[in-house]
Amino acid sequence: MGMTVVQKILARASGLASVNVGDVVEPAVDMAMSHENTALVINQFLEIFKGTGLEPRVWDPSKIAVIFDHRVPAESAKTATNQKKVREFAGAQGIEKFHDVRGDAGGICHQVMAEEGYDRPGAVIVGADSHTTSHGALGAFAFGVGATEMASVWALGRAVNIQVPATIKVVITGRLHAAVTPKDVILHLVGLLTAEGGNFKVIEFHGDAIAGMPTSGRLVLCNMSVEAGATAGIVPADAETVRYLREEAGVTDPLDLVQPDADAVYDRVIEIDVSTLGPQIACPHTVDNVKGVAAVAGTAVHQIVIGSCTNGRLDDLEEAARRLKGRKIAKGVRMLVFPASWKIYKEAMTRGYLGDLMEAGAVIMNPGCGCCLGVHEGALGDGETALSTTNRNFHGRMGNPNSDVYLCSPAVAAASAISGVITDPRKEG
Amino acid sequence: MATVVYKVGDDVSTDAVYPGRFMATVLPSETPQFCFADDKAFNTALQQKAFAPGSVIVAGQNFGCGSSREQAASTIKGHGLVVIARGFARIFLQNSINLGLRTVICPALEAEVGDEIALAEAHVRNVTRGADFPIVPLPAARQAIIDAGGLIAYTRTRLVAARAR
């Protein structure tokens, strides 16, 4: 019986010829990533060693990435102290893939992992963050874990007691309309599957729309696969994966372009023709509450957020800058822009995107997650509405339970910034 | 027997269980104060220790969806509560098992706040309503961790064995 991509990756990483759905395996981990919650991982890691007489050393410092992004620069003494503890630990353990608070490198962990070449096709990647699904964009099996599980990986170098997940095959065909983006595709899919439709499963992406999609768009699809509950999203590695890793991430090592078998068995197959898909929007307060933008067009917005691990890449900023150049953001609306990494920030600055956005009235923030999850800057006032290119709109997500968050593409966000109300970008210049 | 002290619907996220703005607080000894912080009445009752250990939170489908923040499991465990849900999101379920928060999957459960619940091996009995609802066993892969008393103890044993070789 044939295997899916993830079955093949898990078999290889577990030293087995093949694995079946439901098998319990202990794959070796190729990369373990965490952010500010590394403070808790360290605490749990030291707990594991208590009473053993063993010196607490991580299994392989070269396979650990620690990237500060959730609260940068620190918003409180508590965070600053946690970051200090992590910085000292990384130094003592020899963790060199440590991205501190600085402007010449780093940024949001899910972008940094890709652009630094830490993501590889065929790899097993665990991250102490639910959006670790992002890294499937480069053909890796990447899934989120909690801090204690990360501590266990640090100690053993394996993810213990993993049950081989079933896979949903999603075939995406057709050509997207100019104002319709990968974000609209994944919002549509999450709406279709519902918030739990992918729970304990992998979403494997196929189809000509995927073949023609750059890595930046694939990252959007895989990033939000977790919003359908999926353990992982994955795009089997192809020519674009190789191009990205060689040309943009500077990877020179041999690559293992793991493919599914032709007779792989899937839990279900979903086919979506995106040629007629319009701009989508996730309405409060669940990500699967997805509608066509027309259904809520005209709704007044107070804060617009462009950026994050979902939509803070160069093509996203370009789209926003193109629409806002020479225009002004509506009065009473504030726009915050979070480039996904400092590399992107610098390039967007060089190309003039950031200047165009500033001239329109946007506030350019440093790369980070804080606003998206309501921990650091960009909180909403009582009764306010945000329109955001981020990935979650749960009750209170942006720091205030008495507010609403709508999720959309950068095109919808930029068009709406000019009008001050939710706007279909196909109707805007 | 235990009392249902709180009931929530489907797709309740870890943002609701433990809002992001408290995430700088990480230690299991400190997280209980922010349990369901945006529901002032319930949070206050928890802080005043109004509920006996073993009291039950009843939830719908996909409880604990969203963020992988482990505080969502440790904050509930800190109050000694049990969560019986029609279904759990993967990462939350895993975190709960890893930390020893008791979670019960009971897809057909019918219960309201104030109902008395008795937990048996294969079913949840709603004593107040005189009805039994079957339990779906936790993933077999996780039983070894539960048996060890959590992932820290489990990993410690594995680590000592591995380094002794």
Classified as helix, coil or strand, B47 is helix
Domain with residue B46: its CATH number is: 3.20.19.10
Complete domains list, chain A, with CATH: 5-272 (3.30.499.10), 280-427 (3.30.499.10)
Tokens of A272: 């979506």
Per-residue pLDDT of chain A (429 residues; tens, 9 = 90+): 899 999 999 999 999 999 999 999 999 999 999 999 999 999 999 999 999 999 999 999 999 999 999 999 999 999 999 999 999 999 999 999 999 999 999 999 999 999 999 999 999 999 999 999 999 999 999 999 999 999 999 999 999 989 999 999 999 999 999 999 999 999 999 999 999 999 999 999 999 999 999 999 999 999 999 999 999 999 999 999 999 999 999 999 999 999 999 999 999 999 999 999 999 999 999 999 999 999 999 999 999 999 999 999 999 999 999 999 999 999 999 999 999 999 999 999 999 999 999 999 999 999 999 999 999 999 999 999 999 999 999 999 999 999 999 999 999 999 999 999 999 999 764
**DSSP character at residue A284:** T
CA distance to partner chain A, nearest, from residue B140 (Å): 8
Greater pLDDT, B16 or B142:
B16
- Give the chain B residue nearest A23 (alpha carbons): B141
Q: How many CB atoms lie within 10 A of CB A243?
A: 12
Continuous segment of H or E residues that includes residue A109: helix A109-115
With respect to residue B73, please indicate whether it lies within any of the assigned structural domains.
Answer: yes
What contacts A281, CB < 8 A, 6 or more positions away? A187, A290, A291, A292, A293, A295, A296, A406, A407, A408, A412, A422
With respect to residue B27, please indicate whether it lies within any of the assigned structural domains.
Answer: yes
Chain A to chain B Cβ contacts (< 8 Å): 154
- Looking at the complex, does the CB of residue B27 fall below 8 Å from at least one CB of chain A? yes
CA distance A423 to A416: 5
With respect to residue B98, please indicate whether it lies within any of the assigned structural domains.
Answer: yes
Mutate to test the interface with B, among A20, A150, A289, A373 (most CBs of B within 10 A): A373
With respect to residue B150, please indicate whether it lies within any of the assigned structural domains.
Answer: no
- Looking at the complex, does the CB of residue B164 fall below 8 Å from at least one CB of chain A? no
Confidence (pLDDT) at B163: 80
With respect to residue B161, please indicate whether it lies within any of the assigned structural domains.
Answer: no
With respect to residue B57, please indicate whether it lies within any of the assigned structural domains.
Answer: yes
Give this prediction's pTM: 0.97
Which tens digits make up the pLDDT trace of B63-119?
A: 999 999 999 999 999 999 999 999 999 999 999 999 999 999 999 999 999 999 999
With respect to residue B116, please indicate whether it lies within any of the assigned structural domains.
Answer: yes
The alpha helices in A312-409, defined as continuous H runs, are 314-324, 342-350, 353-360
- Looking at the complex, does the CB of residue B76 fall below 8 Å from at least one CB of chain A? no
List, as ranges, residues 77-136 from B with C-beta within 8 Å of A.
87, 89-91, 94-95, 98-99
Which tens digits make up the pLDDT trace of A324-336?
A: 999 999 999 999 9
Q: What is the CA radius of gyration of chain A?
A: 21
Mutate to test the interface with A, among B8, B10, B14, B15 (most CBs of A within 10 A): B15
Structurally, chain B folds into a number of domains equal to 1
Q: What average pLDDT does the segment B51-59 reach?
A: 97
Percent of chain B with pLDDT over 90: 93
CA distance to partner chain B, nearest, from residue A200 (Å): 6
Full domain range(s) for residue B26: 2-136
